[in-house]
Amino acid sequence: MNIVKIILLPISFFYGLIMSIRNFLFNCKVLRSKRFNIPIISVGNLSFGGTGKTPHIEYLVRLLKKKYSVVALSRGYGRKTKGFILANENSTPCEIGDEALQYKTKFKESIKVAVDGNRRRGIKILFNKFPELEVVLLDDAFQHRWVKPGLSILLTDYHKLYCDDFPPPSGTLREFRRGSKRADIIIVTKTTSVLSPITRRRITKIIKPKEYQSLYFSYIKYGVLQSLQNEDTIPKATKFSTILLFSGIANSYPLQDRLRNKCNELIVMEFKDHHKYSVNDLNKIKKKFENIYTKNKIIITTEKDAMRLSKPELSKIVNELPIYYLPIEVSLHKDDAKEFDKQIIDYVRKNKRNN
């Protein structure tokens, strides 16, 4: 830890203390969490983003949607609207946020997608509208204690474990690391695709999961490049002279590592997390791309950023540029996948309504 972070530790302690008081009030039932008679799975983290919540929610959707009626409920971070909104095929990121739009775009009618900052209200509205619902997936809800999930999943980045972090301004934790005790499942995300037993044991010793907690390890799987203009267009080249990568996510380093193997030169333009792209931003990207003096070049962004580019005012510039996005999925390592899938399915089956 550098000297500046050490100096700021008292402020970090004060921030963490405020969150601890809030948690204490929930634990003592001064503030009350609401339980619902339906399987509710929460996915969240202790840090301010960047652990891979969206692809893990998508993993759960793929696991459950064939057998159960599923809804993904988030607060709709970054949207300009308020209250409860049910996503549809015409929804925009300004209306429901980019994560919710990604769920709706990817899974279409096979699941319900909704946003509401008040998750308790959101669940009640969904029950009234769709009595047949069987599973609720709460996105980014580890600190949203007004709803008591039946199963709480905590994600932590392999390269920045919550055990080694602090509340702001010295770190990026939303609360003290002891909040991890509320989790039923801990997933170490963004590991390498091959995980050695030695590394697994080392991380397990650092995290020290409780007896009631299951610990799993996941990694990112990349799909095929998709064009923003034409879904059927795939670049012919397998390696490029230059790739211009722009992104507005918390951590783009796994994607950067992936793309460095696909080009001779990687140019990175980073925007803040959940950045709302403007015409000016797209013009800067266009200018940067035009100043790359090679023919074998391409622009790549993330799937989440691609959702934010679907605004009418940006369409003209987007259509002028060879912009592609790289879809991702998460996989769990070997036996972890079987055990995790079984734990999720068993929980949902045992807690179905009318059981």
Return the number of other C-beta atoms located less than 10 Å from residue 186's C-beta. 21
In the chain, the amino acid numbered 340 is: F
CATH number at residue 345: 3.40.50
Q: Is the pLDDT of residue 355 over 60?
A: no
The answer on 240 and 208 residing in a single domain is no
What residues form DSSP beta bridges with 331?
Answer: 219
The dihedral over CA atoms of 174, 175, 180, 181, expressed in degrees to the nearest 10, equals -150
Q: Which two tokens stand for residue 272?
A: 């803040």
The reply to whether 110 falls in a domain is no
In the chain, the amino acid numbered 170 is: S
Q: Which domain holds residue 233?
A: 226-326
Range 194-215 average pLDDT: 96
The reply to whether 257 falls in a domain is yes
Distance CA 346, CA 327 (A): 29
Residue 324 is predicted with a pLDDT of: 93
Q: Which two tokens stand for residue 252?
A: 């783009």
The answer on 283 and 344 residing in a single domain is no
173's CB contacts (< 8 A; 6+ apart) are 16, 46, 47, 48, 162, 165, 166, 167
The DSSP call for residue 3 is H
Radius of gyration, alpha carbons of the chain:
21
DSSP per-residue letters across 184-211: SEEEEEEE-SS--HHHHHHHHHHH---T
Note whether 299 and 285 are within 8 A (CB): yes
Q: Which two tokens stand for residue 249?
A: 């996510």
The reply to whether 107 falls in a domain is no
C-alpha 186: how far from chain center: 15
The reply to whether 108 falls in a domain is no
Residue 212 is predicted with a pLDDT of: 97
Range 3-21 average pLDDT: 85
Distance CA 29, CA 31 (A): 5
Where are the strands (E) in the chain, listed by range? 40-45, 70-74, 85-86, 112-115, 135-139, 151-157, 185-191, 214-222, 226-227, 240-247, 263-270, 297-302, 323-326, 328-332
The reply to whether 35 falls in a domain is yes
Taking the model in full, what pTM does it have?
A: 0.92
Average predicted confidence (pLDDT) for the chain: 92
The reply to whether 79 falls in a domain is no
For CA atoms 275, 108, 185, 15, the dihedral sign is: positive
Distance CA 99, CA 303 (A): 10
Backbone angles phi, psi at 241, to 5 degrees: -70, -45
Domain total of the chain: 2
148's CB contacts (< 8 A; 6+ apart) are 33, 34, 35, 40
Which helix (H) or strand (E) segment holds residue 217: the answer is strand 214-222
Residue 229 is predicted with a pLDDT of: 76
Q: Is the pLDDT of residue 285 over 70?
A: yes
The answer on 186 and 299 residing in a single domain is no
Note whether 86 and 129 are within 8 A (CB): yes
The answer on 193 and 54 residing in a single domain is yes
Backbone angles phi, psi at 260, to 5 degrees: -60, -25
SS (H, E, C) 306-354: HHHCCCHHHHHHHHHCCEEEECEEEEECCHHHHHHHHHHHHHHHHCCCC
For tokens 């963004």, the residue is: 190
C-alpha 328: how far from chain center: 11
The answer on 173 and 301 residing in a single domain is no
The answer on 310 and 230 residing in a single domain is yes
pLDDT interval class at 2 (50, 70, 90): confident
Return the number of other C-beta atoms located less than 10 Å from residue 318's C-beta. 19
Which helix (H) or strand (E) segment holds residue 57: the answer is helix 53-64
CATH number at residue 283: 3.40.640.10
Return the number of other C-beta atoms located less than 10 Å from residue 336's C-beta. 19
pLDDT in tens, 100-137: 999 999 999 999 999 999 999 999 999 999 999 999 99
Residue 32 is predicted with a pLDDT of: 93
Note whether 125 and 84 are within 8 A (CB): yes
pLDDT in tens, 142-188: 999 999 999 999 999 999 999 989 998 888 999 999 999 999 999 99
The reply to whether 111 falls in a domain is no
